[in-house]
Each structure stands twice: as structure tokens, then as C-alpha cells.
Chain A
Amino acid sequence: MIAVSFENVSRHFGSVKAVDSVDLEVQPGEFFAMLGPSGSGKTTCLRLIAGFEQPTAGAISIFGERAEGVPPYRRNVNTVFQDYALFPHMNVLDNVAYGLKVKGISKTERIRIAEDALALVRLPGYGTRKPGQLSGGQRQRVALARALVNRPKVLLLDEPLGALDLKLRENMQEELKALQKSLGITFIFVTHDQGEALSMADRVAVFNDGRIMQVGTPQDIYARPVSRFVADFVGSSNVVPPDFVKRHCQRDGWGSLRPEAIRVSTQTNSAGIRARVVSVSYIGAATRLGLDAEGLRLHATVPAGLTVPEQGADVVLTFGADALHVMEADA
């Protein structure tokens, strides 16, 4: 059984093709990321699964059941909204228990379940507070608890960590991942942050212009992008033109060359590609070099501990034969 499947799904708003002939299969229990720049159709896809949008064409199935025309309140799918969408006039406990109340579960029962859910997201005893009295991270947890109490078949997360600061975001990434593993619920989350998608997801779909460019494991997407767009958007790859590829590995097509795969040597008499250091920026665990290799702009990272050439220095670049990945698509 497939958790969520899209068959040739389109959602057009007038002449704008927000989602354009998308095919997609999300496996049960999978942590699935939809990655793409803003306006790429990833959020519309999420809203199609939630039922806030209806497809213009195509078929959507959730655990084998056709979902077109089914309103959001009749889908066993829950959403963690980007702005959390907590009800400001209810306290935290009533927020969390809302879905249970709607289902007609008795008051004592729903309070017990809601309190368990608050404990699960490490907010025990916060039930009587109003959402306005919570920090961004706490609100995020309440939104998560409110969705999870309903035991959804699929949990949708719309940029769930977007509003949090870096440290909190990293913590929440780990927590979300652990939570998903322990609950076994299918998580589908939308993000524009490559790092987040790669570190959390089992599989990633990269969106652009309403279409899916590539679906695969984070390793696939990172190491073997199928197109220039994917190589460019995921990580900070060097996209190199066909003549460069032809010269170095005798194959046709655009290539992607990871910055960390390039070795930079200051021994100018050794063999390799001659280049000049244009910029040097320190990024903590490494130093990022901007290079001009006979007109071709490249980036390379030098791990901390190795000698970093100065700006303006002449260097020689080498890379392993497997570091250059040749892409199938032109775009």
C-alpha cells in the first residue's frame, strides 16, 4: 500500500501552473521532503494532500483511497502549519484537544490524551497557557502535539522550522526525526532549506516550476543530481559546462563537481587545472575559496587544518575521477 500517490496531478490558478503533471509515490512510514525554491509548487502539493486545494487534473490517493473532492475535515491527514495556526482564544490544552473534541471524545479522555501529547513534545504542564504566552519553539511543539493526537495516517509539515532560530532548528530537526521513527507515521514536509531536507528525510523530491525535477535519497540527490537545477539548488555544487566534462572524463553533458572534492595545491609546478584564488571566506569547519580557472568560476572548500592559499595566489586544482558527476538532463 502506498501512503500518498499523485498520478499526473496538476493544479492551475488561471494561467499559473502551480503544480504541473506531478507523479509521486510516498511510502508508508517514510520521512519525505519536498524541496524547492518559493513558488516551485511544493506547498501547493502539500495543500492538495491536506485537501485545502483540489487538483485541476489527475488523481490523488491516500492509502489507496481516492481523495479528489474529499474535504479536509474528512481526511485522516493532519497538518503542522507554517505559522502554527494555534487558536489564540483557546489555551494550549484546548488547542491540542480540539481534534478530539470535534470527534466527540469525552472530556476526561481527551484531556488525558492531550496531556500525554504535551508530554511527548516535552511541554508537560503548559496546558493552561495561551498560545500568545509561548515562544516560537514552544508554539511549534504545541502545533505538532495538536496534529499528532489525532493519530493521522500522514502528517504534513509546512516549513515547520522556518520561523525558528538556528540552534533551536537543529534541535528540532533531531527531535522530529526521532519522533517520526518512534511513531512510524508517514511525515511529508515542505522546505526550501537543502540542509534540512538532506539531514532529515529518507527521500527528497526537488521541485521547480510546478514540476518534480528529481526524487531520491539525500545521497542520490546530493551526489548524483540529474540536472543543472538540482545540482545548483541542492548544496553548493560547481556546475561545469560540457567542454570541461569532455576534457576531463570524455563524456557528454553538463557536470557537477562538489567543492569538497576539489583539492587545492599551491605547488604550481604540479599537474592539474591552473587557477587563481579570487576570494577566501572562512566558514568554520572549512574555508571556502572562490577560484578562476581560465575563465571558469569554481568553488572549493579547504578543510580546517590544511594550509589556505591567500587571495590572488596561483594554485593547481585536482579531483578524483569519480568526483565529476555527469548529468542526464540539460536544464
Chain B
Amino acid sequence: MSGTVALTDRGAPAILTARNGLLGALSDLFWRKPKLLLFLMLLPPVLWLGIVYLGSLFALLLQSFFSIDEYSGMIKREFTLKTYGELLQPANLDIMIRTVVMATLVTIASAVVAFPIAHYAARYARGKWKALFYLGIMLPLWSSYLVKIYAWKLILAKEGIFNWALANLHLTGLLEAWLALPIVGGSSLSVSFTGTFIVFVYVWLPFMILPIQASLERIPVSLVEASADLGASPGRSFWSVIFPLALPGVAAGSIFTFSLTLGDYIIPKIIGTSHLFIGQAVYAHQGTAGNIPLAAAFTVVPIVVMGLYLWMAKRMGAFDAI
């Protein structure tokens, strides 16, 4: 057969092929010592993360144990807990509680809104619908953050499209009743905590949808079928099988929405009341007030809160299904 001839006619190949050049020698070296390659690959990012990023963060946190001299406004570089005492003043505690409550509500609302969208994308969307889903989720992330927030200011303003739509639906009374409520209310949505909340949920939603979608995609269809096969109604299957298995995704998403809300200072500044959030307090203290130690103490708060949050999430089994 001609095929056999073609296979045997070329002469016997060498058993060991020659190494070619310096690159070849390097490849051989890395093949023999894979850990060397790993070390070389990890060195730059570890240096960056370790020294530039974590190092400067640590330096900042160190500042929180210094204090400011009330008369000269100079930083006294001596260990003290005085700044933390200042942090726990009622006015500052208010800021912390306000921020944590807002972050919690934003996280819950994001999860509730994100889940059905993620579920649709993971279970039903195929082909161009899936592409459309990704586009719909990512598109807002590509446009400027500030543009989006100012757009929301216009939407939520008294003369804005939201009020106009409500007026046409004859629901203005409902909005007015809501705005008349204490704390959540205000003279218009754009200057109320409700407005701040809406914009936070809008801006962070993609960070909740994508991890939930990823975790839902990893659930084999057969598990849901098995649940139905064993007599569970769709609702039962959701709470017993789908939700627990998607929980790591919800936890990952909530880490984003929670920490992003804890640290943000632009949204509450543009849309909201004159009451401060942690981010705004940090901005004010390290900038105009020049009180770096207090600003540093404020930045410790989200870190501690996130630590507690992750610890609780782990205890509640959010990461068991990973």
C-alpha cells in the first residue's frame, strides 16, 4: 500500500531530537524544574502585591495608632489608641452604622434582583441570547462611573423622568408618601437615602450577577432533574438544591457589593443626603481636615467588617459547596 510506503520511506527518525538554541535549553530547564518557572512567574506580582499594595496599606493602618496634635495639627508619631477613641464618638459611630446598614441592604437587594437574571442566563439563555446577556451586564461597566451617577441624578430629580413617569401613572402620591417617611425620605429621590440605595444597587449589580451566574452554570442539570425525580416541586428543588449550590456565588457577589458599598464616597456625595458615609469621612479627614490618623482608623472599619462578614459566611456554610 502506498500509505505504508510513505510512513516507512523517510528513513528512521532519531530517537532523541536535538535541542534548539537557548530558548530550547530554557524550556528543558523549566521542564526539569517546574517550580523555578512558577517562582519566576509569581515573583513580580508578589512583589507588587506584597510591597507596593499591602505594604502601603499596612503603613496607612499604622497611622491609625498615631494621633493628631489639636493645636498644631501635626501628627504625633507615638503609639496611642486616642484616635480609636475618637472613632467611637457618637457622630462617627453614626457614619459607620449608616454605611454598614446601607451596604447590607444593597447586598440583599442586589442578590434578590441578580438571582433571577443569573438563573435565566445560566439555565435558559443560549447562543445570541447569552451574548446579549453578557453585553447587557457588561455594557454599564464600560461606560464612565461618573456619567452613570449623574444620569441617575437626572432620572431621580424632582423634574426627572422617574417623577414624570409616576405622574403619568398617577402614582405621585405613592412617591410623596414614601418621601415623607423619616430616614429613607427627603425632598426628592435624588437627595434621599432611597436614591443612594437605588443607585448603589444599579451600579454594583453586575458584580453580583456574574458570580451567581458562574456558580449556577456549574450545577449539572441532572441534579435538578434528580430532585424532581425524587418528588420535589420546583420551589422545593430551588431551596434544597439550586440555592445551596449557588450560595458560593452569592457569597462571592456579596463580597463585591458589600465592600464596594462600604468604601464608596462618590455615590452618596452626588445622590443622597448631607449625612456622611465611611468613604466620605475618610476623604474628608485625609484631605481637607488633614487628620490622617482618623482617616486611617476609618479605613480599618470596612476591613474589620469584611473580616467578620466572611467569618460569618463561612460559619453559615456559604463556602461548603465549593
Of B114-122, B172-180, B228-236, B273-281, the one with at least 4 CB within 8 A of chain A: B228-236
B223: CB under 8 A from chain A? yes
Most A CB within 10 A of own CB, among B222, B236, B244 = B222
Interface residues as binary, A204-223 with B (CB distance below 8 Å gives 1, 0 otherwise): 00000000000000000000
Docked CA distance A112–B222 (Å): 27
Q: Which residues of A contact B245 (CB under 8 A)?
A: 88-89
Give B237 Cβ to nearest chain A Cβ, in Å.
8
Evaluate contact between B244 and A89: CB separation under 8 angstroms: yes
Give A129 Cβ to nearest chain B Cβ, in Å.
14
Docked CA distance A273–B283 (Å): 99
Docked CA distance A150–B227 (Å): 13
Evaluate contact between A72 and B229: CB separation under 8 angstroms: yes
Evaluate contact between B233 and A73: CB separation under 8 angstroms: yes
Interface residues as binary, A88-111 with B (CB distance below 8 Å gives 1, 0 otherwise): 110000000011001100000000
Docked CA distance A88–B234 (Å): 19
Evaluate contact between B321 and A79: CB separation under 8 angstroms: no
Docked CA distance A146–B225 (Å): 14
Find B232's partner among A52, A73, A77, A85 (CB 8 Å cutoff).
Answer: A73
Q: Which residues of B contact A86 (CB under 8 A)?
A: 226
Evaluate contact between B227 and A79: CB separation under 8 angstroms: no
Give A160 Cβ to nearest chain B Cβ, in Å.
13
Evaluate contact between B236 and A102: CB separation under 8 angstroms: yes
Docked CA distance A10–B245 (Å): 35
Give A155 Cβ to nearest chain B Cβ, in Å.
11
Interface residues as binary, B229-256 with A (CB distance below 8 Å gives 1, 0 otherwise): 1111110100011001100000000000
Find B230's partner among A83, A89, A98 (CB 8 Å cutoff).
Answer: A98
Evaluate contact between B230 and A78: CB separation under 8 angstroms: yes
Evaluate contact between A85 and B222: CB separation under 8 angstroms: yes
Give A243 Cβ to nearest chain B Cβ, in Å.
30
Evaluate contact between B220 and A83: CB separation under 8 angstroms: yes
B86: CB under 8 A from chain A? no
Give A35 Cβ to nearest chain B Cβ, in Å.
22
Given A81-B225, A89-B245, A102-B236, are A73 and B320 also a contact pair (CB < 8 Å)? no
Docked CA distance A103–B233 (Å): 11
Of all chain B residues, which has the CB nearest A158?
Answer: B222
Give B135 Cβ to nearest chain A Cβ, in Å.
26
8 A Cβ contacts from A59-97 to B: 71-74, 77-79, 81-83, 85-89
Of all chain B residues, which has the CB nearest A94?
Answer: B240
Evaluate contact between B241 and A78: CB separation under 8 angstroms: no
Find A146's partner among B228, B230, B233, B320 (CB 8 Å cutoff).
Answer: B230
A316: CB under 8 A from chain B? no
Give A117 Cβ to nearest chain B Cβ, in Å.
13
A50: CB under 8 A from chain B? yes
Find A85's partner among B220, B231, B233 (CB 8 Å cutoff).
Answer: B220
What is the interface size of chain B, counting residues whose CB is below 8 A from a CB of the partner? Answer: 20
Give A309 Cβ to nearest chain B Cβ, in Å.
25
What is the interface size of chain A, counting residues whose CB is below 8 A from a CB of the partner? Answer: 25
Q: Is the interface of B mostly helix, strand, loop or mixed?
A: helix
Give B1 Cβ to nearest chain A Cβ, in Å.
15
Most B CB within 10 A of own CB, among A77, A81, A85 = A85
Evaluate contact between B227 and A98: CB separation under 8 angstroms: yes
Given A81-B222, A83-B220, A87-B223, are A102 and B232 also a contact pair (CB < 8 Å)? yes
Find B225's partner among A72, A77, A98 (CB 8 Å cutoff).
Answer: A72
Of all chain B residues, which has the CB nearest A81?
Answer: B222
Evaluate contact between B229 and A71: CB separation under 8 angstroms: no
Evaluate contact between A99 and B230: CB separation under 8 angstroms: yes
Evaluate contact between A81 and B232: CB separation under 8 angstroms: no
Evaluate contact between B230 and A102: CB separation under 8 angstroms: yes
Of all chain B residues, which has the CB nearest A52?
Answer: B225
Evaluate contact between A99 and B241: CB separation under 8 angstroms: no
Evaluate contact between A83 and B228: CB separation under 8 angstroms: no
Evaluate contact between A103 and B222: CB separation under 8 angstroms: no
Give A76 Cβ to nearest chain B Cβ, in Å.
9
Most B CB within 10 A of own CB, among A51, A83, A98, A147 = A98
Find A81's partner among B226, B233, B240, B321 (CB 8 Å cutoff).
Answer: B226
Give A232 Cβ to nearest chain B Cβ, in Å.
27
Give A250 Cβ to nearest chain B Cβ, in Å.
40
Find B226's partner among A71, A74, A77, A79 (CB 8 Å cutoff).
Answer: A79
Evaluate contact between A50 and B229: CB separation under 8 angstroms: yes
Given A72-B225, A85-B225, A85-B226, are A150 and B220 also a contact pair (CB < 8 Å)? no
Q: Which residues of B contact A83 (CB under 8 A)?
A: 220, 222
Q: Which residues of A contact B227 (CB under 8 A)?
A: 87, 98
Q: Which residues of B contact A150 (CB under 8 A)?
A: 230-231
Give A142 Cβ to nearest chain B Cβ, in Å.
12
Give A289 Cβ to nearest chain B Cβ, in Å.
23
Q: Which residues of A contact B233 (CB under 8 A)?
A: 73
Docked CA distance A86–B230 (Å): 12
Evaluate contact between B220 and A103: CB separation under 8 angstroms: no
Of all chain A residues, which has the CB nearest B228?
Answer: A72
8 A Cβ contacts from A145-198 to B: 146-147, 150
Give A52 Cβ to nearest chain B Cβ, in Å.
6
Give B246 Cβ to nearest chain A Cβ, in Å.
11
Find A79's partner among B223, B229, B236 (CB 8 Å cutoff).
Answer: B229
| 24 contacts across the A-B interface (CB closer than 8 A) | A50-B225, A51-B228, A73-B228, A73-B229, A73-B231, A73-B233, A81-B225, A82-B222, A83-B220, A85-B223, A85-B225, A87-B227, A87-B241, A88-B321, A89-B244, A89-B245, A89-B320, A98-B227, A99-B231, A103-B231, A146-B230, A147-B230, A150-B230, A150-B231
- List 13 additional A-B contacts (Cβ < 8 Å) besides A87-B227, A98-B240: A50-B225, A50-B229, A73-B228, A73-B229, A81-B225, A81-B226, A87-B240, A87-B241, A89-B244, A98-B230, A102-B231, A103-B231, A147-B230
The 8 closest A-B pairs by CB, nearest first: A99-B230, A85-B226, A85-B222, A72-B228, A102-B231, A89-B321, A102-B232, A73-B228
